[in-house]
């Protein structure tokens, strides 16, 4: 989230798309209800009418997988009707930048496409620069090669009629959404876009998010209270676990993992040169990287050995979830750790992921429960135990309140959880388990002369004596030290690239500025202004609550409006003041060089309407899902041309002849993710005890299905049984004059726990987004029949 939960109350309009917060982030509605009481509007865009839609002022249906047409049409509407915040767009985005010849877009393809590689040559998408490397601009935005004009042209194809013919949205509803949300382009108004996995779990997931951001920039909604682009995270600490580098491609703090495939990455020097932009805040990257290496390798990290850079593994491919399971399926993996995760329910094409686990020699599961994953070898999973040779270690883990530590919510607030009670039975905190395992491994490797063992032996591991680690030492290592004085760092601004500082995660540096002062433990809930609660816990980075808040002020440093003020330049004090920590150099005057660079993380200090960094194009463009019942109306490119396709048995594709129905998955309020936490509890199992599939009355009638009937849903991957939930909340879509049916189902169920049911993900495909490889759970083809 660029903003935060409490800030939702300041919005004039919340566009909720690809999300159902009333069910999946219910407390957000405490603040949205306040927004409504203040006159704000709520717009819900969803394939079905949800509990969120019930609370909305405007509801619009869209067929799964058509966010880009939906928002692209809004961009077109805002531009055509002159509803954009022009000065904001000119000053704070790259709208005025001139794009070099070589960039082009024809029939769904951007220039530089290589069909055989299914990849683009991004050097074709370049901004024109002057001799000293500055972008060439046209602030009138009239130049036909300006980003603005190219964008305007791109989305002029997204007219209301074409858009609604693709999305299946009734035209009146669509126009109501356009009108309601685009009204926030006015100075003095702000609108927020709230999204979740309904947005990201598509082959165009990254571009879905991108197009939301483009709309928000055009309306001048980023950096303002009640504005922003707000990803609602589904797990309590998926923000933190991502910040701390539990994805293959990122070390901590969004520093890229070194790659064997990039010649520059052979040395630390080359890596830093390659990864560090010349301008913008990321120009400080070497300080973050070297400080991280100091935290990981301690005294073994020296200037002479590139601070231990060579100890880091260098991968040569994409190791993300789908590829990981594909490798496992092919027998390429031997062992796996599962820390509180349940891919046999939560993974795409879950039947195949379950099969893949049987190819492991050993698996360690750390969990509060026996999950479908740790029990994948049982007959209940449809397995024959005698044929599965995987050794399984299941370790009982402590619940969140049986241990202490911090977690980071969607607002990037790092809040502390204290220990309320000893762990149940012999359960132990994950921290202790990881620590003791590390100590045991250290012991096994001790004194090994092998060079292969050096990287691990040199890993610095000092968290007190004994089996139980001192969590405070871990926290302080994350914050980082001035290694000369041994003092804790007060801010990441003090980090150095010469090995004299350490920090395990630069973006968190400063949360523990002095001995005994872990700011995530702060419980001062006095409102410090505009509900930013600056003394409650700690928000990364630097305790900022609204990111890009420099953009809440005009180029001269004064708030665009009194109503939406966050920070402003105080000429007398010669600094930025306000009710939040400035997301800007606090003493840089608006008139100084860079004084209007509201997006300081980016190279030129501006937000990118034209983003030449993504794999699938500088502008979001619509492509149909991997499995779709209709042809792409916008171009002859049916599927995202940059999406990687895994052929064969691991990812069977279904056609519309056999599987004419669009399927999607979602969650219900009463269960959480794969259900292991909630289906193992009686009260929540009582509230939502059955696997169901929602379908429209029209569709049910066509198939002779009555409410509560037992039905079978099938896809190219498998089939599941469930109850039919026939509802008025799903309606068939009119897609280009053709009736298209969609059904939806929760993905929480499995064969363990109190509430059991078939696993929806046995139906979903192993195909991912072109940038992130996040699987396309949200739109696939299936068919439905009565079970009897």
Partner 1 sequence: MVELNLSRRQFLKLSGATAATLAIVELGFDDKRAYAKTKEFKIAKTTVTPTICCYCGVGCGILVHTKKNEVVYTEGDPDNPINEGKLCSKGTTLRQLYTSEKRLTKPLYRAPGSSKWEEKDWGWMLDTIAKRTKDTRDASFVEVENGITVNKTEKIASLGGAALDNEETYLLAKLMRGLGITYLEHQARI
Partner 2 sequence: MAEFVKYIDVTKCDGCRACMVACKNWNDLPAEHTDFLGSVQSHTKTTADTWNVLQYIEHENSKGGLEYLFRHSSCFHCTDAACQKVCPESAISYTDFGSVVIDQDKCVGCGYCVQNCPFEVISLKEYKDKNGETYRKSHKCTMCTDRLEEGLQPACVTTCHTGAMEFGKKDEMIRKAEKRVSEIRGRFPNTMVYNPPGVGGTHTVYVLAERPSVYGLPENPKVPTSAVVWKDYAQPIGKMMLGATTMAVVAGFVSNKLFNKGGHGHGEEGGEDYE
C-alpha gyration radius of the chain: 26
Least Å distance between CB 692 and partner 2? 7
Residue 726: name its binding partner from partner 1, partner 2, none (Cβ under 5 to 8 Å by kind): partner 2
Closer by beta carbon to partner 1, 85 or else 522: 522
Least Å distance between CB 574 and partner 1? 32
Residue 577: name its binding partner from partner 1, partner 2, none (Cβ under 5 to 8 Å by kind): none
Q: Write the DSSP assignment of 511-531 as a string of letters.
A: SS-STT--GGG-B-----STT
Q: Which of residues 709-748 bind partner 2 (CB under 8 A)?
A: 723, 725-729
Q: Write the DSSP assignment of 87-114 as a string of letters.
A: HHHHHHBGGGBBBPBTB-EETTEETTEE
Give the C-alpha separation, 194 to 249, whole Å: 26
- 296 makes contact with partner 1 (CB under 8 A): yes
Give the C-alpha separation, 300 to 303, whole Å: 10
Closer by beta carbon to partner 1, 92 or else 536: 536
- 62 makes contact with partner 1 (CB under 8 A): no
Q: How far is CA 590 from CA 388, 484, 595, 604, in A?
A: 66, 36, 4, 15
Structure-token pair, residue 44: 């819900």
Mark 95-134 with x for binding to partner 1 (rule: CB under 8 A) and - for no binding. ----------------------------------------
Least Å distance between CB 688 and partner 2? 7
Least Å distance between CB 2 and partner 2? 23
Any long-range contacts for 293-299 (C-beta under 8 Å, 24+ apart)? 294/483, 294/499, 294/501, 294/502, 294/503, 295/460, 295/477, 295/478, 295/480, 295/502, 295/503, 295/504, 296/459, 296/460, 296/504, 297/458, 297/459, 297/460, 298/460, 298/462, 299/460
| Choices 42-50, 276-284, 529-537, 598-606; region in contact with partner 1 by CB under 8 A | 529-537
Q: Which of residues 227-246 bind partner 2 (CB under 8 A)?
A: none
Q: Which one of 6, 53, 208, 579 is in contact with partner 2 (CB under 8 A)?
A: 53
Mark 470-499 with x for binding to partner 1 (rule: CB under 8 A) and - for no binding. -x--xx-xx---------------------
Structure-token pair, residue 739: 């009736």
Q: Which of residues 753-772 bind partner 2 (CB under 8 A)?
A: 754
b/e for 333-353, b at 16 or more Cβ within 10 A? beebebebbbbbbbbbbbbbb
C-alpha angle 196/25/186, rounded to 5°? 65
Specify whether the CB–CB gap between 656 and 738 falls below 8 A.
no
Q: Which of residues 663-682 bind partner 2 (CB under 8 A)?
A: 668-670, 682
Least Å distance between CB 784 and partner 2? 16
Residue 367: name its binding partner from partner 2, partner 1, none (Cβ under 5 to 8 Å by kind): partner 1
CB atoms within 10 A of CB 157: 18
Residue 327: name its binding partner from partner 1, partner 2, none (Cβ under 5 to 8 Å by kind): partner 1
Closer by beta carbon to partner 1, 340 or else 660: 340
Closer by beta carbon to partner 1, 605 or else 765: 765
User: HEC profile for 372-390?
Assistant: CCCCCCCHHHCCCHHHCCC
- 326 makes contact with partner 1 (CB under 8 A): no
Q: Which one of 99, 127, 222, 688 is in contact with partner 2 (CB under 8 A)?
A: 688
Structure-token pair, residue 621: 């463009």
Q: Helix, strand or coil for residue 44?
A: strand
- 708 makes contact with partner 2 (CB under 8 A): yes
Region for 382 from its dihedrals, namely left if φ exceeds 0, alpha if ψ lies in -120 to 50, beta otherwise: left
Mark 433-472 with x for binding to partner 1 (rule: CB under 8 A) and - for no binding. xxxxxx-xx--xx-----xx--xx--x---x-----x-x-
- 39 makes contact with partner 2 (CB under 8 A): no
Give the interface with partner 2 as residue ranges (CB under 8 A): 22-23, 26-27, 29-30, 33, 49, 51-55, 668-670, 682-690, 692, 707-708, 723, 725-729, 754
């Amino acid at each position: 989230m660029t903003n935060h939960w409490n800030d939702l109350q300041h919005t004039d309009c919340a566009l909720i798309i690809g999300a159902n917060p009333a069910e999946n982030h219910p407390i957000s509605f405490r603040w949205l209800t306040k927004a409504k009481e203040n006159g704000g509007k709520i717009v819900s865009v969803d394939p079905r009418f949800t509990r969120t839609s019930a609370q909305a002022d405007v509801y619009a249906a869209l067929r799964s997988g058509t966010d880009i047409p939906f928002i692209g049409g809004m961009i077109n509407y805002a531009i055509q009707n002159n509803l954009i915040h022009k000065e904001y767009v000119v000053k704070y985005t790259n709208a005025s930048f001139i794009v070099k010849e070589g960039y082009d877009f024809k029939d769904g393809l951007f220039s530089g496409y290589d069909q055989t590689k299914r990849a683009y040559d991004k050097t074709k998408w370049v901004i024109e620069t002057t001799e000293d490397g500055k972008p060439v601009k046209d602030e009138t935005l009239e130049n036909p090669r300006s980003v603005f004009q190219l964008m305007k042209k791109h989305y002029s194809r997204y007219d209301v009629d074409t858009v609604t013919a693709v999305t299946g949205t009734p035209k009146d509803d669509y126009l109501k959404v356009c009108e309601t949300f685009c009204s926030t382009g006015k100075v003095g108004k702000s609108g927020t876009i709230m999204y979740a996995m309904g947005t990201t779990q598509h082959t165009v997931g990254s571009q879905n998010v991108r197009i939301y951001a483009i709309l928000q920039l055009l309306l001048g909604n980023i950096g303002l209270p009640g504005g922003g682009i707000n990803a609602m995270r589904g797990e309590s600490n998926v923000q933190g676990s991502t910040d701390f580098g539990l994805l293959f491609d990122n070390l901590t703090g969004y520093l890229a993992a070194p790659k064997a495939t990039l010649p520059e990455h052979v040395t630390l020097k080359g890596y830093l040169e390659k990864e560090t932009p010349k301008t913008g805040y990321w120009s400080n990257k070497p300080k973050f990287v070297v400080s991280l290496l100091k935290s990981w390798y301690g005294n073994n990290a020296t200037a002479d050995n590139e601070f231990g850079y060579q100890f880091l593994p260098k991968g040569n491919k994409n190791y993300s979830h789908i590829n990981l399971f594909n490798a496992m399926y092919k027998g390429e993996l031997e062992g796996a750790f599962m820390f509180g995760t349940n891919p046999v329910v939560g993974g795409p094409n879950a039947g195949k992921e379950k099969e893949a686990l049987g190819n492991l020699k050993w698996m360690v599961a750390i969990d509060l429960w026996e999950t479908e994953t740790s029990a994948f070898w049982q007959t209940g999973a449809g397995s024959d135990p005698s044929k599965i040779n995987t050794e399984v270690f299941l370790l009982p883990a402590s619940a969140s309140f049986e241990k202490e530590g911090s977690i980071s919510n969607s607002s990037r607030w790092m809040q502390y959880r204290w220990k309320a009670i000893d762990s149940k039975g012999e359960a132990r905190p994950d921290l202790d388990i990881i620590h003791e395992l590390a100590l045991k491994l250290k012991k096994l490797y001790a004194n090994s002369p092998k060079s292969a063992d050096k990287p691990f032996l040199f890993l610095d591991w000092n968290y007190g004596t004994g089996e139980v680690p001192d969590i405070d030492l871990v926290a302080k290592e994350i914050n980082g030290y001035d290694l000369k004085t041994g003092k804790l760092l007060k801010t990441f601004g003090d980090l150095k690239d010469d090995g004299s500082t350490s920090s395990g995660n630069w973006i968190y540096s400063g949360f523990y500025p002095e001995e005994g002062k872990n700011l995530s433990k702060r419980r001062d809930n006095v409102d410090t202004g505009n509900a930013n609660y600056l003394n409650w816990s700690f928000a990364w980075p630097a305790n900022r609550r609204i990111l890009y808040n420099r953009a809440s002020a005009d180029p001269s440093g004064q708030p665009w409006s009194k109503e939406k003020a966050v920070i402003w330049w105080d000429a007398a004090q010669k600094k930025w003041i306000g009710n939040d920590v400035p997301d800007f150099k606090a003493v840089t005057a608006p008139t100084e060089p860079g004084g209007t660079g509201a997006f300081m993380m980016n190279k030129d200090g501006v937000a990118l309407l034209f983003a030449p960094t993504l794999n699938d194009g500088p502008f979001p463009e619509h492509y149909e899902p991997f499995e779709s019942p209709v042809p792409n109306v916008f171009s002859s490119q049916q599927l995202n041309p940059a999406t990687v396709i895994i052929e064969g048995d691991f990812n069977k594709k279904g056609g519309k002849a056999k599987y004419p129905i669009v399927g999607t998955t979602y969650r219900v309020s009463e269960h959480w993710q794969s259900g292991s936490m909630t289906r193992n509890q009686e009260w929540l199992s009582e509230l939502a005890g059955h696997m169901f599939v929602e379908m429209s009355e029209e569709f049910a009638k066509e198939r002779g299905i009555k409410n509560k009937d037992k039905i079978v849903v099938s896809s190219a991957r498998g089939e599941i049984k469930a109850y039919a939930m026939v509802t008025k909340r799903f309606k068939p879509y009119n897609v280009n004059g053709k009736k298209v049916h969609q059904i939806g189902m929760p993905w929480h169920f499995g064969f363990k726990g109190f509430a059991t049911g078939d696993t929806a993900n046995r139906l979903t495909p192993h195909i991912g987004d072109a940038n992130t490889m996040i699987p396309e759970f949200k739109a696939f083809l299936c068919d439905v029949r009565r079970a009897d």
